[in-house]
Structure 1
Amino acid sequence: MSRKVHLQTSVVSVDWLNANSDASNLIVLDCTINKKINNTSQRIPNSRFFDIKQKFSDTSAEFPSMLPSIEQFQNEAQALGINNDSAVVVYDDKGIYSSPRVWWLFKIFGFKNIAVLNGGLPEWLANGFQVEKYSDDVYSYGNFEASFQPELITNFKGIQVYTKRLDTVILDARSRPRFNCFVDEPRAGLRRGTIPNSKNLPYTELLNVNKLKTKKELSEIFNILVKDKTILVFSCGSGITACILALAATQCNFKNLVVYDGSWTEYGTLIK
């Protein structure tokens, strides 16, 4: 008899994934950013490559990694064989880096049965679990139907409203040197700067090497910054690592979480 799983949390361990790899509705997505797939590329067995940059971003947008349309996301997710009753686990080759962006994208488009693999491929390998080489896989088209959740994301116009709201804290995931304008932005020509009334929370401070810190450790970090605020807005360079903050805040049971999609790349370019 086939066995299905339902994800009870937004983060799962490599032990959990290994123990549940036979679940009939489980789909594992390799969300490594800018990955070049060839005959030497390693993956967790039966992983499917989720191409953030080319298939799950608006490639016509002025800024990188911008949210795709609901039609694009639904079509590409269906092409990966994702169904409405799938249980999706996402990972990347750094541990916790681009996979939270994919987790957040699925949430934006109304899919909830999804979790990030804590520690990603490095943790999987460190535990001695099997990997395999990529092959030319063909997937049965899925029946996933997207439903846009606009409250989970904001844009240039929206972030300017959030900067003035007394119930909101804006947390920037960039490094402290970037946030404090001590170094240039990696994007050529992009000015240094910060969003008004934002606070710095480098995403690296939420990690123990390549895994998320414990809920207790994360809560201690967030509580110092959030205090009495009821809306948390997350930014970074281009909307990728902001989602690590969103994942960590979700682990701490915070509600009303928003990601600024264009982040500093958009804000620093458009603000006059």
Structure 2
Amino acid sequence: MMSLKINSPLVSVDWLFSNLENEHLIILDATIPKVTSKEEGIGEKHQIKNAIFFDIQAVFSDKNAPFPNTILSPKEFEEKAQELGINNNSCIVVYDDLGMYSSPRVWWLFQLMGFKNIAVLNDGFPEWKKKEYPIEKPFSHQPKRGNFRVDYQPQKVKFTEDVLKEIENDKFLIADARSKGRFYATEPEPRKGLKGGHIPNSISFPITEIIVDGKLKSAKDLKEIFKEKNPKNKDFIFSCGSGITAAVLALGAEIAGFKNHAVYDGSWTEWASTENLPIEK
């Protein structure tokens, strides 16, 4: 069977259902709890049939790093992806239980590692359940080791020293995915003791501006929104609380046709925790 090819960073639940039995398809459940949510998990966990849990926090983040959700080294990522049974000719669809929250982070991680045949499930698990497509209780997979190889793309990620350098550089536009309240420090950060405010010269671009009911807005709307935010077509640097929702903006930018974008991996948690960095409110 020929490998399944994805031409867009987004696929519908109908597309996924029609390709569910394809031998090259790998479905990743990238659900993590929302950092701003006070609710505990409600009810029993289910997943899309054949899904494999992609553990962003415990497996695909550097556990020795001082800040949450720090990217793995390319070598470690390759190793962990192979353990999930991912091959070079795999076709990956990633989703999360909230519709559109943590799944774009996984899409972005694979872009960073040079793998293109991956898409986010638009509207995620809520839409899948609504259509009554097949679900199951999670179980432990023991997949055959894959032959996935990393082709690292360093231009897709920024670190604190890069962002500090780019603040004054007119070629870049730093866009912050957190709420306006957090951006302007009129509401507290969800992480206890973290200072409020934003990176100087950055703009507020909450993900709520591009998502409706857990679904990304249309490509046409995204083009207009991103053009309005970035009329001079600068290179985007996306930031957020800890690198998760910045990837939602990266996904939106990709669909809107803005190809030059990077995610600030440490994001606000690292910026606000680092001594002597400039902060605006």
Note if 1:138 corresponds to 2:137.
Answer: no
Which residue number corresponds to residue 227 of structure 2?
223
Which residue number corresponds to residue 27 of structure 2?
28
Which residue number corresponds to residue 92 of structure 1?
96
**Aligned residue pair count:** 270
The correspondence for 2:106, drawn from 95, 102, 106, is: 102
Say if 1:33 and 1:208 are closer, same or farther in 2 by CA, change over 3 A: same
Deviations 1:156-213 (A, max 9, x none): 0000122111121111000011001101111111111100100011012111111100
Q: Which 4+ stretches in 1 moved above 4 angstroms?
A: 34-37
Note if 1:197 corresponds to 2:204.
Answer: no
Stretch moving more, 123-132 or 8-17: 123-132
Which residue number corresponds to residue 15 of structure 2?
16
Cα deviation for residue 40 of structure 1 reads 4.3
Note if 1:124 corresponds to 2:128.
Answer: yes
State the alpha-carbon separation in 1 of the partners of residues 33 and 201 from structure 2. Answer: 32
State the alpha-carbon separation in 1 of the partners of residues 3 and 87 from structure 2. Answer: 13
State the alpha-carbon separation in 2 of the partners of residues 136 and 163 from structure 1. Answer: 45
Is the contact between residue 238 and residue 264 of structure 1 (CA under 8 Å) also seen in structure 2?
A: yes
Note if 1:210 corresponds to 2:214.
Answer: yes
Q: For 1:29, what is the secondary structure of its paired residue?
A: strand
Structure 2 letter corresponding to 1:242? A
State the alpha-carbon separation in 1 of the partners of residues 67 and 139 from structure 2. Answer: 32
Which residue number corresponds to residue 68 of structure 2?
64
Percent identity between the aligned chains?
Answer: 46
TM-score with structure 1 setting the length: 0.96
Gaps of 5+ in 2: 35-39, 277-281
CA RMSD of aligned residues (A): 1.6
TM-score with structure 2 setting the length: 0.93
Gaps of 5+ in 1: none
Cα deviation for residue 271 of structure 1 reads 4.2
State the alpha-carbon separation in 2 of the partners of residues 136 and 168 from structure 1. Answer: 43
Q: For 1:137, what is the secondary structure of its paired residue?
A: coil
Cα deviation for residue 255 of structure 1 reads 1.5
Note if 1:159 corresponds to 2:163.
Answer: yes
Structure 2 letter corresponding to 1:208? V
State the alpha-carbon separation in 1 of the partners of residues 78 and 200 from structure 2. Answer: 35
